[in-house]
Every structure is written in C-alpha cells, then in structure tokens.
Amino acid sequence: MEKLDARIRNHDREIEKMCNFHHQGFVDAITELLKVRADAEKLMGQVSDTNRRLQDAGREVTAQTEEVIRCRVQQRNMATTVEKLQLCIPVLEMYSKLKEQLESKRYYSALKTMEQLENIYIPRVSQYRFCQIMAETLPKLREEIKEISMSDLKDFLESIRKHSDKIGETAMRQAQQHRTFNSAVQKQDSLSCAKPLYGLNGRTPLHHNGLSTEAADEEEMDEEVLTAQDLVDFSPVYRCLHIYTVLHETVEGYRKYFNQIVGFFVVEDHILHATQGLVTRAFTDELWNMALSKIIAVLRTHSGYGFPVNRLFDLLFEVRDQYNETLLKKWALVFRDIFEQDNYSPIPVENEEEYKAVVSRFPFHDPEIEKQQFPKKLPMSHSVPQIYSQVKEFIYASLKFSESLHRSSTEIDDMLRKSTNLLLTRTLSSCLQNLIKKPHIGLTELVQIIINTTHLEHACKYLEDFITNITNVSPETVHTTRLYGLSTFKDARHAAEGEIYTKLNQKIDEFIQLADYEWGMSESDGRASGYLMDLINFLRSTFQVFTHLPGKVAQTACMSACKHLATSLMQMLLDTELKQISMGAIQQFNLDVIQCELFASSEPVPGFQGDTLQLAFIDLRQLLDLFMVWDWSTYLADYGQPTSKYLRVNPSTALALLEKMKDTSKKNNIFSQFRKNDRDKQKLIETVVKQLRSLVNGMSQHS
C-alpha cells in the first residue's frame, strides 16, 4: 500500500507539473478569446447599423422602382390598345360601308363587301365579341339580300303575266311588218341591199328612198307601238341572276342534294346500330351502292348535255377522302383493341388444324418450325394475323367505294395503295408508337413487339400482291405506288429497341437504389452484396428472353446495361454527399465489381468477341486495383503513357476518392500521430493528394 501511495503521489506530482506547464497557455487563450468577443460585439453593432442605413436608403429606391414598373405596364397596355384598335377600325369601316350599300340597295357591292369581311378583316380580330356578333349577322344579311332579289323576281314574273298579251300583240305586228317589208324589197330591183329590220331597241327603222307610201305609213305606225323593253323592266332578272351567281346557288343546290342523301344514310346507320332486326347491314350497303350509281348517273347525264360537272366530281373525290378518313379512324380503334387484347407471347399450336388456321390468315413460312413436332409455338403473337387480316378488310372497304366512282383499274389501284399507305404510316404507326410508350408494357412485351413488327414487315409484299390481284394492275406499271410499310415497322422497331434500353436502365437504377453500403466498415463481408446478386440474376433471366431478338439488338442492350451499371457504380463511389470511405468499404465494393466482371465474362448474350463486354467495367477495375494495391508510385510515374497500367484512371477521380479515404483516416485515428506507421501513411496520402492536385490543375490549364 505504501508503494501504491508513493506511486500515486508521484503521478499526482507529474499531473500537477504538466498542468502548471500548460496553465499559462490556457490563461493566454482565455484572454485572447475575451478580446475576440469584444471585437465580435463591436463588429455586430457595425453590421446592424450598416443594415439599417441600407434598408432606409433602399426604401426610396423600391418605391421609385414600383412606380416605374407601374408606368411601364400602363405604357405597354396603351401600346397594345392602339395596336388592337388599328386592327379593329378597318373592320368597323367595312361594316359601315356594308350598311350604306344595303341602304342604297347596291346588293352586289354589299355581297362583295361581305366576302372581304369574312375572308380578310374579321379573321384578324375574330377573338373580340363585336366581331363574333358581326360574323353571326352576315349570313342573315345575305339571306335578306336573297329574299329581296327573289321578291323582285316574283314582281317581275307578275309583271310579265300582266303584260304578256301586249308583248305578244307587238311581236305579231312586227312579224307582219317584216313580211310587208320583204315583199316591198322584192318589187324594188334597184335596191341591192337593205338595213336590218330590227334595231337593238326593238324598233323597225325603215328609211329607204323609193319605198312606197304604204311603207312610210307603216313606219309612222311602228313608232307609235311600244316594245317589250318598254312594257317590262328586265333589271330584276339580271340583278337576281347576278346575286345568285355570287352566292354559288347552283353548286349549293347540288350540295343540298348530297346532304339529303348523306343525312338519310346517317339515320339508317343509327337505326342499324340502335335496333336489332329492323335494318340489316346488307340492306344498308345495297341502298348505298344504289345511291352512288344514281348520283353518278345524274352527273353523267348533266355532263352529256354540256353542263360542266367537274366541280361535282371533285366533290365526289372530297367525299372519298372523307370516307377514307372515317375508315382510318374506325381502324385505329380496331388496332387499339387488338393490341389491348394481345397477350404478347408466341402463338401455341397443338395440331395441324390450328397451324393451318393461322397460316391461312397470315403468310408465315419457316422451314425450321414446320419440321418441329406438335405442339409447337410460332414466334409472333396473336395480334400479327389479326392486324394482317384487318389491313385486308380495310383494302376491301376502300375498294368498295372506289369502284363506285367508275374509274380505270390503274386509278383504283393507285387509290387503294395510297389509302393503304395512310393506314400503315399514320394509323398503324401511331397505334404502335402509343403502345410502346405505355407504362404497363414491360421488357418481355417489347421483345415480342419487335418480333411482331419484323413479321409484319415481311408480309408487306403479300399485301402488294393482294392489291394487284383484286385490281388486275401489273406491279411493273411505271406509276404504281409502293407500300411504305417497311419504314413504318422499322420505325416502330427502333422505338421499341430504344424503350428496351430505357426500361432496362430504369430497372438497374431500381436495384442500385437498394444498395446499402456501410462506408465506414473496417473490413469486407467476404461475399458480394445481396442487391447486386439479385440484379445479376435479373439480367441473366432477361437476356435469355432476348435470344429471339436480332443479334445486334440483344448485344446493344447487353452492352448498354453493363455500361449503365458501371456508370451507376462509379457515381455511387464518387457521390459528393458521401464524405468518407474506409478501406474495408473499398474491398466490399471490389467484391461486387468482381461479380459484375464474372457476369460479363459468362457471355450472357452470344456474339461478343473476346472480353469486349468486360471493358465496360475497365474504369472501375483499374481504379479499385490502384487503391487495393496502393500502387501510387507506379500510377504517378506512368501517368500519361499509353502503356500505363492505370491508363483509364482519371486524376480527378482518384483525387476525389483519396480525399474521402483521407478524411476517414483523420477521424478514426485521433492518436495516429503518436504511431510512426500511421504518421508515415498519412504523410504519403498528403503527398499523393498534392501530386494529384498538380496533375488536375495541369489538365485544366492545358484544356
């Protein structure tokens, strides 16, 4: 006990000696801290005073700024108002001019003014309420003009009825004078020629020398007779004809005729779909064909009598285009339903009958599959034969209308090919693009869509043969239009391939988010992380499905996935939010990268040459090797040389990772400065950091 007490006293003396040694430094530090506190309070007061003065000075600037903003807004509003008024004033002037023309009964000029208002002036300011009211008023004014001109025409007809007897009496008297004049001319052989009997005004000028006194008396009596122009005012006829010509009333009559026909069939179609058994599809189609033949017969009859009907035939072609648009909309719904009901898996066939049923609907020929025993699977899904059949149905529907136009086989063939091209390039292409972008379409479905589009692309030549057979037009004809289905299905296939790459990378990101590294671990677990093994198993099963894809697509998808995985791992390692990494975490990360390299070397997709796929992880491998071996002397000595062992390691990347490890060493080894090995290691890290920074600075200056 005495020895223990003596040792305690000895230690107490050492502690007291050490405290006395450091006491003066402690007192000095406290004194300086008090001085700093006083300076800090003084500085705080100065900052507060400066802030107050700044706020006072800025208050007036803020008020002036708000006033300037308010003035600018008013100025902009005034400029906008002037601009809009400049657009509106010509419209109001034209409308005022229209009112004056109507009041002065200059209806033809009023109609021309209406056309200018509707086509030029009103569209410029159609968003304003007064223009909308004006546009609604113009058709009513046009109808008033029609009614006024028709009323004038009726008055004219009534006038004709009243004066028809006098007009007939005048015509008969003039005919009698004509006969009398002819007999007088025959008696006068000395006269070689005579002036016309009737003038433009309907009177009979008889001014020949040598005519008998009877002719002179007849002339005097003729001057007293009123002509048809004197009895009837023909101006209402010309005015009404002029107005109705401007209004295109003749074409409107045909348009009304066609509207009545179309309206009848709209009602029939509604009854067909709203009731059962009252009207049948065959009956409606028969009526439609009969109506088409009647319409064309009427047009051809008018054409035979010399009436121009080209515009009406143009109208028929417009109806054909609208009919095609209606068909395209209908088939868009059909394609959408087919895609929604498809299971996107190969078609299973149990026996020969099922195989023939599929082949009869779709031109499929594969010697390898034909040799296989039943049951077997065809590579495409159920939607492929359905799409092919529906395209043929569309061609039939388009043909049924085109035949009624009584055009040549070449023109009908051209119409069918153009309609089919629209169906493929616009309707089917849009449906495929929308299908590919749907969120519920997974990788398996996208693979099947690529296979389906490949078979549909091969079937396009059979569609061309199908059109050739039903139109009897040789495909070697110079002006024969080709089907553009090849580009449609290629575009859809490229879109599906891009979506595969995107979804595959998204799935990799989902697995990466499950990573839970303990970045401060002292040593690794000795096995790869669970999330990474799950990710590799997912990639293996996914690439097995890719065996049916074209080789380049599968290889591109595999290479894209490996590159994305390597990039994601590198980003995880260099994340700015990650401040510290231990050597144990580096070792654990290295185990995961080894599993990635083993996966790449196992050739998940055939066709890669050598270690091409492993090169996706070469940046990670060289970086981890550098830190695992701690081979900084080699890295710094060989930097910039093409034969360097760590050629793919960027100095900035190595610096970022080394600084994370440097911070870890400082935190975990508070007393490391008392151990020589730790001090040496810390000095080495600092030396390497300085050299790496010089390399990074040199690269930035060079660039």
Percentage of the chain exceeding pLDDT 90 = 21
Judged against a pLDDT cut of 80, whether residue 169 lies above it is answered with no
* Across 398-407, 494-503, 659-668, least confident range: 659-668
Same domain, 565 and 442: no
> CA torsion sign, 643 to 646 to 648 to 653?
negative
Average pLDDT over residues 481-507: 84
Phi, psi of 206, deg, nearest 5:
-120, 95
Residue 182 falls inside a structural domain: no
Same domain, 448 and 336: yes
Residue 378, strand partner residues: 347
Q: What is the CA radius of gyration of the chain?
A: 49
Same domain, 472 and 529: no
Judged against a pLDDT cut of 60, whether residue 225 lies above it is answered with no
Q: Determine the straight-line distance between the first and last CA of the chain, rounded to whole angstroms.
A: 76
Q: How many CA atoms lie within 13 A of 106 on its CB side?
A: 11
| Preceding peptide of 604 cis, ω within 30° | no
Classify 606 as helix, strand or coil: coil
Quote the pLDDT of residue 50.
92
Same domain, 470 and 528: no
Average pLDDT over residues 131-159: 79
**Token pair belonging to 275:** 């009731």
Residue 27 falls inside a structural domain: no
Residue 600 falls inside a structural domain: yes
CA 166, CA 180: separation in Å to the nearest integer? 21
**Token pair belonging to 588:** 């654990």
Residue carrying structure tokens 């569209």:
123
Same domain, 422 and 523: no
pLDDT in tens, 623-656: 999 998 888 889 888 888 888 898 999 999 998 9
**Token pair belonging to 480:** 């024969």
Same domain, 525 and 464: no
Single out the residue of 605, 489, 488 nearest to residue 548, CA to CA. 605
Same domain, 451 and 532: no
Task: Give the per-residue SS3 of 233-276.
Answer: CCHHHHHHHHHHHHCCHHHHHHHHHHHHHHHHHHHHHHHHHHCC
Same domain, 464 and 528: no
Q: Is the distance from CB of 606 to CB of 546 less than 8 angstroms?
A: no
* Across 72-86, 104-118, 258-272, least confident range: 258-272
Residues ≥6 apart with Cβ < 8 Å to 222: 173, 174, 177, 203, 204, 206
Quote the pLDDT of residue 661.
82
Average pLDDT over residues 461-489: 75
CA 515, CA 531: separation in Å to the nearest integer? 6
Judged against a pLDDT cut of 70, whether residue 176 lies above it is answered with no
Residue 469 falls inside a structural domain: yes
> At 92, is the pLDDT very low, low, confident or very high (cuts 50, 70, 90)?
confident
| Average pLDDT over all residues of the chain | 80
Quote the pLDDT of residue 257.
63
Number of structural domains the chain divides into: 2
Torsion of CA 12, 18, 22, 26, to 10 degrees: -30
Judged against a pLDDT cut of 50, whether residue 467 lies above it is answered with yes
Residue 645 falls inside a structural domain: yes
Q: Tell me how crowded residue 387 is: count the other CB atoms within 10 A of its CB.
A: 25
Average pLDDT over residues 268-284: 79
CA dist 400 → 470, 528, 646 (Å): 11, 68, 73
> At 190, is the pLDDT very low, low, confident or very high (cuts 50, 70, 90)?
very low
User: Longest C-alpha distance within the chain, in Å?
Assistant: 187
Quote the pLDDT of residue 218.
45
pLDDT in tens, 586-597: 999 999 999 999
DSSP code per residue over 617-643: GHHHHHHHHHHHHT-HHHHHHHTT-TT
Same domain, 525 and 577: yes
Q: Is the distance from CB of 456 to CB of 396 less than 8 angstroms?
A: no
Same domain, 521 and 655: yes
Q: Which domain holds residue 377?
A: 316-481
Quote the pLDDT of residue 189.
45
Residue 632 falls inside a structural domain: yes
Same domain, 626 and 541: yes
What element of type H or E holds 42?
helix 2-103
CA 471, CA 454: separation in Å to the nearest integer? 27
Classify 371 as helix, strand or coil: helix
Quote the pLDDT of residue 593.
94
Residue 307 falls inside a structural domain: no
Q: Is the distance from CB of 662 to CB of 685 less than 8 angstroms?
A: yes
CA 225, CA 203: separation in Å to the nearest integer? 9
> At 298, is the pLDDT very low, low, confident or very high (cuts 50, 70, 90)?
low
**Token pair belonging to 670:** 């508070």
**Identity of the residue numbered 101:** Q
Strands (E), 296-399: 347-349, 376-378
Average pLDDT over residues 135-143: 84
Higher pLDDT, 353 or 292: 353
Residue 376, strand partner residues: 349
Residues ≥6 apart with Cβ < 8 Å to 588: 517, 518, 521, 524, 525, 529
DSSP code per residue over 587-621: HHHHHHHHHHHHHHHT-SSTT--TTTGGGGGHHHH
Whole-structure pTM over 0.75, yes or no?
no
Judged against a pLDDT cut of 90, whether residue 160 lies above it is answered with no
Quote the pLDDT of residue 559.
92
Q: How many CA atoms lie within 13 A of 136 on its CB side?
A: 6
* Across 56-70, 359-373, 394-408, 561-575, least confident range: 394-408
Higher pLDDT, 70 or 196: 70
Q: Is the distance from CB of 237 to CB of 153 less than 8 angstroms?
A: yes
pLDDT in tens, 434-460: 999 988 888 888 888 988 998 888 888
Percentage of the chain exceeding pLDDT 70 = 77
pLDDT in tens, 71-87: 999 999 998 888 888 88
Same domain, 456 and 537: no
Residues ≥6 apart with Cβ < 8 Å to 107: 101, 145, 148, 149, 239, 243
> At 167, is the pLDDT very low, low, confident or very high (cuts 50, 70, 90)?
low
Burial class (CB in 10 A: 0-12, 13-18, 19+), 608: middle
Higher pLDDT, 228 or 448: 448
b or e along 486-507 (b: 16 or more beta carbons within 10 Å of the residue's beta carbon)?
eebbeebbebbbebbbebbbeb
**Token pair belonging to 11:** 């230690």
Which CATH number fits the domain that encloses residue 607?
Answer: 1.20.58.670
Residue 567 falls inside a structural domain: yes
Quote the pLDDT of residue 149.
76
Judged against a pLDDT cut of 60, whether residue 226 lies above it is answered with no
Judged against a pLDDT cut of 80, whether residue 475 lies above it is answered with no
Quote the pLDDT of residue 552.
82
Per the rule left: phi > 0, alpha: psi between -120 and 50, beta: everything else, 128 is beta
> At 670, is the pLDDT very low, low, confident or very high (cuts 50, 70, 90)?
very low
Residues ≥6 apart with Cβ < 8 Å to 23: none
Single out the residue of 121, 115, 138 nearest to residue 87, CA to CA. 121
Average pLDDT over residues 50-63: 88
Which CATH number fits the domain that encloses residue 394?
Answer: 1.10.357.30
